[in-house]
Amino acid sequence: MHFFKLFNQTLKIVATGSAHRFYKETLQLLHSNGFPFLIGGAFALKQHTDVFRDTKDLDLLCSAGECPRMLKFLSDRGILTETTDARWLAKAFRNEDYIDLIFSSANNLSPVDETWFEHKVEGTLYDIPVSFVAPEELIWSKIYVQNRGRYDGADINHLILKTGQQLDWRRLLMRMEQHWQLLLAQLLNFQFVYPGERDKIPAWLFHELLKRAAEQYEVPVPVDRICRGPLLENNEYNTDIIDWGYKIFSVTNL
């Protein structure tokens, strides 16, 4: 607890280390010039849950249309920038330190649009007024991070634990409508981790998802042999696609 208090006080008073100086200067530049962006990643998790883990970068979320303008603005001020992956990610660098500019998700299922800004959460970071990603959108984006090297399920459990009674669960269900099984799986995971906290999840949602799970067995199985694994993990389902004949589930056949 002492470490978290000390770290939080450090963020509020003065950033230490080259990375935090870079984050603060960049945030001040973008804020002063009116660029619309949201704070995501570990800093948003800290805002909503008071849980902070060591992070190697700062995540800024913006629309796909706004990202090139931000890159040019930063580049004109001597900050090295790159479009890392034209589908979802760009970066800004200073020496070994960097900031991620995120305009979608790696699987392209969670594009950042104006609805993300409609539900933003106001706050401060490095004494700069900023907007944080809402917990509902944070859960939506994190629920697909289930790969061999990284799994964000614990982050989601902490978000449910700390914000569950205030969450707009209907909006989250709308976000997850097509992939509701992932939401049900996460809720079961939460109940396993926190058996005495089930009231954080509304009963109507849990019963609705269980009903859907049961009703699956009352309709024919899908004709196409589809593997949705690549939406969660880029490499671990190669055998399914290459050797076993499953069709890859991509944004072209949602």
pTM (predicted TM-score): 0.88
- Rounded Cα–Cα distance for residues 57 and 90 (Å): 12
CA atoms within 13 A on the CB side of 22: 21
- What was the pLDDT predicted at 248? 85
Amino acid symbol at 196: G
Q: What is the pLDDT of residue 100?
A: 97
Banded pLDDT at 250 (limits 50, 70, 90): low
Q: What CA–CA distance (Å, rounded) separates 106 from 87?
A: 7
pLDDT in tens, 178-226: 999 999 999 999 999 999 999 999 999 999 999 999 999 999 998 999 9
Angle of helix 180-193 relative to helix 203-215, nearest 10 degrees, comes to 120
Q: Where are the beta strands (DSSP E) in 78-211?
A: 80-85, 89-94, 97-102, 121-125, 128-132
3-state class (DSSP) for residue 55: coil
Q: What percent of the chain has pLDDT over 70?
A: 91
| Distance separating alpha carbons of residues 236 and 29, to the nearest angstrom | 40
- Which numeric CATH code is attached to 1-133? 3.30.460.40
In tens, the pLDDT along 116-175 reads 999 999 999 999 999 999 999 999 999 999 998 899 999 999 999 999 999 999 999 999
What residue spans define the domains of the chain?
A: 1-133, 134-219, 223-254
pLDDT: is 227 or 251 the higher one?
A: 227
Which residue in this structure is represented by tokens 């004949």?
A: 245
| Mean pLDDT, the chain, whole residue set | 91
CB atoms within 10 A of CB 186: 21
User: Would you state the structure tokens that stand for residue 154, as one six-digit string?
Assistant: 């614990």
